[in-house]
Structure 1
Amino acid sequence: MSIFKLDMNYKNLLVIAGVALVLLLMYRIQSIISIFAVSFFIAYLLDPAIDKLETWKIPRAAGILIFMVLLTIILVCAMLYVVPYLYYEINYLANMVPDIVNSVTNTAQNFAERMNIYVSLEGIKNQLAPKAGAIAKQTLAAALGILSSASTAVSSIVNIAIIPILVFYFLKDFDRINTKIFDALNRKYDNDIKRYITEFDKILSAYFRGQLIVAAILGVLYTIILLVVGIKPAVLIGIVSGVLSVVPYLGFIIGFAASLILAFVQFQDILHPLMVFIGFAVVQAIEGNLITPKIVGESLGLHPTAVIFALLAGGSLFGIGGMIIALPVAAFIKILLSEQFA
């Protein structure tokens, strides 16, 4: 089957114009798309678990309700216990900013003197350090204010309440939706299209579900390493590093750099930064040789730069929904190109 054969007749031109119109409409209603994309993404991730419950003779609707209750309990526990502790760690980090500035400037000054470079950073330190804590707190408050405003504008309370309802109905009719899509494609195209969709679903499901599990494991491992070393705030840096690890290398780079600086500032020695270096190196070795190959298996097959570009492009065009859609689109294009040029 050749997918790229296209005759430039009026019918195809109308199809192209229709696609362009749909993309423009998607851009205009990107906040609504984000709600539906997030809901469908959650349903897509949970569908295998619901199918498993069905094999245990649990009705599909009951299985969905069980999962939603469990997720609600987890979220409530997180709001009651984890979020307040993270707030404490954020404030602790903000109060540490003046010490970080002093340590970094002193280190730079000492290094410059050893290299016979006569540069005075005392003025910068005296001006910046006393104000650094206030700047950090104001920046944090501004960021939280922007986030709150964006959340209010894009995802109001009503829209957030709609997500569980959409997830329920997507999960309830997930198999029926798949059947209808395959039937429509089989009527329109030959049987090869089912093979493309099946391969696409296999790769995508392994990547998304596996990547989220890997991110959670890395967040726990990074947190444990930082707690063992004695660095504060360990939980905040561990969670941020784990979440950002969904983007190739980003979580490792930010977590490692922040931990190294904090280790030096808090302990003023070589041992603790060395422990951070060894800890992160061990976690990366375990992740690259054991965790990712075992859990994710066959990934999207995309180069890390392609993954980053797809995420940034999707987010820029359609917000959160665009970021969720971007990787599936990139994966499908990759499958088609591989088939055409094999």
Structure 2
Amino acid sequence: MLKVLRNWVHRYFSDEQAVVLAVILLLGFTAILTLGGMLAPVLAGLVLAFLMQGLVNLAERLRLSHTLAVWLVFTLFIGLLAVCLLVLLPLMWRQLSNLVNELPRMLGEWQTLLLVLPERYPLLLDEQQVLNAIEAARGELGKLGQWALTISLSSLPMLINIMIYLVLVPILVFFFLKDGSLIARWMSGYLPQERALMTRVWQEMHLQIANYIRGKVIEIFICAVVTYIAFAYLGLNYAALLALLVGLSVVVPYIGAVVVTVPVALIGLFQWGMSDQFIYLMVIYGIIQALDGNVLVPLLFSEAVSLHPVAIICAVLLFGGLWGFWGVFFAIPLATLCKAVLDAWPRRELLGG
């Protein structure tokens, strides 16, 4: 047993660069797991700066100085942030409040409709099953009310955290854009001189991460805007809220589109019943999902490393369980990182079996 273990270590960890890379990856994952909550503003600022670095590079190619390019992109970022805070956020909050207030009435009407099902389909459902389902829905509604009450009671600490983010994240974004190259050179000074393996992994990953993050943000924006225009044209209630859910659903491959279909269908069915409007809604929603999966995703992620759907789902479950929303968002880049490391990892063949 010891010989097998010694041979395995000799085969995969005999290269010094491989050992250093393994230690760096282990320390990085450990730091995020243990300090991720405290460093969340820094990580958020780093992600946003990474998203906007392409605009800075574009402005520099147009013969603007680095400082002017940074200030131009940062001003655009502050403008978009102000629009989100002053226009989009109040609209979402109003629609969410209206939906929460409408839930008891919606549940009452659905209860009336559900109690008719045992009479129409006695072989499939009985009255007790329907009553149990209604009771379970009431319990979930009660939990939602308790959650809303808890949020309201803890609003002061939440507001303080939001203010901290609103102050720190823009500052961090500015300095990451302005001094990103200096920070990178400072950090590289602590790495070994011989780092060909790390350089190869980073070069392979840099294009993939940039393509994925920017492409995913563009996909969220396009899906949300197109969905809002379609839902608003049909006159669907809570169009902005549902459009936001549809946009965010693309973060979770395969699963998100299925899950977000439920609230879209329920609200459309509650508003119109089984009418032509409801059929139009579901057809348009299906077209949006089909165009997203078959047209938009191939265009945005043409340079991404292809991963098997099973690997993507496993990565979403694993990293989402570890780091929540950000783990889900970065599940594919992290899975791609693991694949790149495994592909680049040096292997020393053992002689004599």
Return closer, same or farther for 1:308/1:63 CA change in 2, 3 Å cut-off: farther
Q: In the alignment, which residue of structure 1 is the partner of 2:338?
A: 333
**Aligned-pair Cα RMSD in Å:** 4.0
Return closer, same or farther for 1:333/1:199 CA change in 2, 3 Å cut-off: same
Amino acid at match of 1:207: Y
1:5 and 2:9 correspond? no
Q: Residue 74 of structure 1: CA displacement?
A: 2.0
Whether contact under 8 Å (2:21, 2:198) holds in the other structure is no
Q: Residue 225 of structure 1: CA displacement?
A: 2.3
Q: Distance in 2 between matches of 1:332 and 1:123?
A: 48
Q: Residue 82 of structure 1: CA displacement?
A: 2.0
Q: In the alignment, which residue of structure 1 is the partner of 2:350?
A: none
Whether contact under 8 Å (1:98, 1:133) holds in the other structure is no
Q: Distance in 2 between matches of 1:146 and 1:4?
A: 57
Q: In the alignment, which residue of structure 1 is the partner of 2:101?
A: 95
Q: Distance in 2 between matches of 1:17 and 1:198?
A: 19
Q: Residue 132 of structure 1: CA displacement?
A: 8.6
- Residues 84-118 of structure 1: CA distance to partner in whole angstroms, max 9, x if unpaired? 22222112212321343234333433332222257
Q: In the alignment, which residue of structure 1 is the partner of 2:63?
A: 57
Whether contact under 8 Å (1:30, 1:321) holds in the other structure is no
- Alignment gaps of 5+ in structure 2: 1-9, 347-353
Whether contact under 8 Å (2:252, 2:329) holds in the other structure is no
Moved more, 113-122 or 90-99: 113-122
Amino acid at match of 2:218: I
1:110 and 2:95 correspond? no
Q: How does 1:313-324 map to 2 (within 5 A)?
A: 313-318=318-323
Q: In the alignment, which residue of structure 2 is the partner of 1:285?
A: 290
Amino acid at match of 1:96: E
Return closer, same or farther for 1:336/1:122 CA change in 2, 3 Å cut-off: closer
- Residues 129-171 of structure 1: CA distance to partner in whole angstroms, max 9, x if unpaired? 9x79984872452463488577468x46445422222222221
Aligned mate of 1:33, from 28, 39, 56:
39
Q: Distance in 2 between matches of 1:15 and 1:282?
A: 45
Moved more, 98-107 or 209-218: 98-107
Aligned mate of 1:120, from 127, 144, 148:
127
Relative to the length of structure 2, the TM-score reads 0.77
Aligned mate of 1:76, from 72, 82, 105:
82
Amino acid at match of 1:5: Y
Whether contact under 8 Å (1:43, 1:167) holds in the other structure is yes
Whether contact under 8 Å (1:101, 1:128) holds in the other structure is no
1:230 and 2:260 correspond? no
Identity among equivalent positions (%) equals 20
- Alignment gaps of 5+ in structure 1: none
Q: Residue 179 of structure 1: CA displacement?
A: 6.0
Q: In the alignment, which residue of structure 1 is the partner of 2:171?
A: 165
Q: Distance in 1 between matches of 2:129 and 2:28?
A: 58
How many residues were matched structurally?
Answer: 334
Whether contact under 8 Å (1:226, 1:276) holds in the other structure is yes
User: What is the DSSP-based 3-state SS (H/G/I as helix, E as strand, rest coil) of the residue aligned with 1:32?
Assistant: coil
User: What is the DSSP-based 3-state SS (H/G/I as helix, E as strand, rest coil) of the residue aligned with 2:304?
Assistant: coil
Q: Distance in 2 between matches of 1:249 and 1:93?
A: 26
Q: Distance in 1 between matches of 2:58 and 2:252?
A: 30
Q: Residue 52 of structure 1: CA displacement?
A: 0.9
Amino acid at match of 2:127: S
Q: Residue 119 of structure 1: CA displacement?
A: 3.1
